[in-house]
Amino acid sequence: MTPKELRLIPRIGLFAALIYVLSLATAMLPNVNLIFFIVFIAGFMWGAIPGMLVGAFGMGLSTFFSPFGPAALPVMTAQIVGASFSGLIGAAYFSIYGNEITNLKLYFSIPLFSFFCTLAFFIPVNIVDSWLFQPFWERFYISSFWSLISVGSNMVLFTLLFPSMISFCKKEQRALC
Give residue 50's pLDDT band: very low, low, confident or very high (50, 70, 90).
very high
Range 63-68 contact pairs with CB under 8 angstroms and sequence separation of 24 or more: 65/20, 66/23, 66/27, 67/24, 67/27, 68/27
The domain of 110 spans 3-176
Task: Output the average pLDDT for the chain.
Answer: 91
> Which of 3-12, 81-90, 109-118 has the lowest average pLDDT?
3-12
Q: Structural domain tally of the chain?
A: 1
| pTM of the predicted protein model | 0.93
CATH number reported for the structural domain that contains residue 126 in this entry: 1.10.1760.20
pLDDT at residue 177 is higher than 70: no
Query: Which residues in 142-151 are b (16+ Cβ under 10 Å) and which e?
Result: ebeeebeebb
* The pLDDT value given to residue 27: 85
Give residue 176's pLDDT band: very low, low, confident or very high (50, 70, 90).
confident
Contact 112, 155 (CB under 8 A): no
